Chain A
Amino acid sequence: MIKIAVASGKGGTGKTFVATNIFSTLLRNNHNSILVDCDAEAPNSAAFFNTEYSDSLEITQLVPVIDKDRCTFCGKCRDYCNYNAIFILPHVKIINVIEELCHGCGACLVACKFDAITEKPVSLGNVTRFVTNKEHYIIEARTRIGVLSPVPVIKAAIKSIDSSAEIAILDSPPGTSCPFIQTVSKADYVILVTEPTPFGLSDLKQSVETLRILKKPFGVIINRSGIGNNRVQEYLFKEGIDLLLEIPYKKETAQLYSKGILLAESDPFFERQLLAVFESIYAKEWS
């Protein structure tokens, strides 16, 4: 199985647009594929396809529960907690767990010598599978409102990929911090989507820097080509980075997307372009 992540530093450059259109193109060209929406804070991919709900898995994290009868208020659990999730006032015998800050590392459990700490699961969100009429799956990571980090839900979504599929397309969250890293570190190849503007270029440079640290092969798609300037092209040329495709800005494209319609399904030329992008990546990386 090959995993290709579609990512960008800047939000709104067209990650989901590219990921959904590539997935649809691969399916129509008989590649057994799966789409994984890893943008757990703002998941949208499934809305572009006619699917049925298949199944859903609740993702939980363990948080400590403190037995106040056993607790001696020694403070060792608080000292072990690196996330400030345990609050103690020993002289008035108050101890509280701030569940939102807990990362579920289990350090407090190891710290406690009085067997005063057990754990309970709390919900972080869901990994849901949707199935298309041709039995292809879309996996969606979705955090519960108010959860601080989407990382455990993203990890669970990627783990749940059925390896019998030939290709998995991972629609990544924006940015270059933990949610992005957790997604692209599981991928074999990364397609960075950018736009030809100063904001797009600045965020692209940061993504490139991160992918180079992670030693991931990658190429770039410029979306909304024509709206800004040529600095992105110049940068790619200077750095020797593959420019996979330029998608020209058209108001009709934006309008179709706004309605949830896939361009590749109505535009055979665009479909051929996306297929060629996939085939060139495949030829370069795996054959």
Chain B
Amino acid sequence: MELAIISGKGGTGKSSISAAFATLNGKVVLADCDVDAANLYLLFNPYHDEEEVYISGHKAILNPSLCTNCGLCLEHCRFDAITEGKETVMISETLCDGCFLCSRICPGNAISMVPNDKSRMYSGSFRNGKMVYGRLAPGEENSGKLVTMVRNKAKSIAEESGFEHIILDGPPGIGCPAISTITGVDKVIIVTEPTISGISDMQRAVAIVQKSGRTPYVIINKCDINDDMSDQIKNWCGGNSIPVAGTLPFDPAMVKSMVNSLSINEYDPENSINESIRNIWNNLLNNK
């Protein structure tokens, strides 16, 4: 089973729940698809077998000695990345989208495209299986493509190692990296929390999963922060035929386990929350 965990809203507990699933049973392949802010490696301290360069895109760089300041590139750039300068045009690296158009049309060949090659994908072993994660270099883009690369690697590792389950810890939001995380997976879990932000972001996350023709499962984390709101989420899910896979209470032990670089079931095996997490996992496996 390839299982993706997303949320819409950040900080609802995706990574803590992913970490718990990853250490519940037999060995798994765990893939951190939150390439903007990969965190699971902090808990599992994986041994890197492999490091691969990810080219996230290109940036236009001007050679001022060749620029005649004709303004053709400025006229064509739709990303406001090129501005008028005194003797030459100026290109903003931050705003450049890497479309190559300016470099193709410049009559003086003054613009070259340089690859962004600071992002990496790592894969290796951790204490309960194999792990893959991507790290997008600060300011780089196309995170969806890096997510796809991480998932392909996780699949090939699963085939080689014979591990049955792949767990994808997804990014917040509902844009490109989140869509890349859920495309074609067997099951999608949305972790939400009983706050007005949590419910509204969950609804948007449900919509992107439904757009891909599937039904997600919902986990209400920190459910006792606001019981009324938790009921509201359950009712909404019920009315929209979205199964609630389970609810988990707010528990300071969740944070403490993270501080100690452990999953909740490793840190506090006697905690009753583990039983709830195990039930959710079993529900997911048995629901076809």
Contacts of A214 in B (CB 8 A): 94, 139
CA distance A210 to B36 in the complex (A): 12
Contacts of A185 in B (CB 8 A): 94-95
Q: Which of B39, B136, B173, B250 contacts A174 (CB 8 A)?
A: B173
Binds A, one of B83-91, B152-160, B195-203, B267-275: B195-203
Chain A residues within CB distance 8 Å of chain B: 9-13, 16, 41-42, 44, 47-48, 80, 82-83, 103-107, 110, 143, 145-150, 173-181, 185, 197-199, 202-203, 206-207, 209-210, 213-214, 227-229, 251, 254-255, 257-260
Cβ proximity bits B47-65 to A, threshold 8 Å, 1 near / 0 not: 0000000000010000000
CA distance A101 to B198 in the complex (A): 29
Q: How far is the CB of A193 from chain B (nearest CB, A)?
A: 10
CA distance A198 to B193 in the complex (A): 21
- CB <8 Å contact, A82 and B42: no
CA distance A149 to B141 in the complex (A): 10
Give how many A-B residue pairs fall within 8 Å (CB-CB).
181
Q: Which of A44, A177, A207 contacts B197 (CB 8 A)?
A: A44
Q: Which of A176, A207, A258 contacts B226 (CB 8 A)?
A: A258
- CB <8 Å contact, A202 and B39: yes
- CB <8 Å contact, A16 and B259: no
Chain B residues within CB distance 8 Å of chain A: 7-12, 15, 36-37, 39, 42-43, 58, 76, 78-79, 94-95, 97-101, 104-105, 136, 138-141, 143-144, 171-176, 178-179, 193-198, 200-201, 204, 207-208, 211, 222, 225-226, 229, 250, 252, 255, 258-259, 261
**Inter-chain pairs besides A42-B204, A110-B76, A258-B196, 19 sampled, C-beta below 8 Å:** A10-B37, A11-B9, A12-B172, A13-B11, A41-B172, A44-B197, A48-B196, A82-B98, A106-B76, A106-B78, A175-B173, A177-B139, A177-B143, A197-B255, A199-B15, A199-B42, A203-B39, A213-B139, A227-B255
Contacts of B105 in A (CB 8 A): 110
- CB <8 Å contact, B201 and A44: yes
Q: Which of B11, B100, B201, B207 contacts A10 (CB 8 A)?
A: B11
Q: A47-B200, A104-B78, A147-B175 are in contact. Are A257 and B258 (CB under 8 A)?
A: no
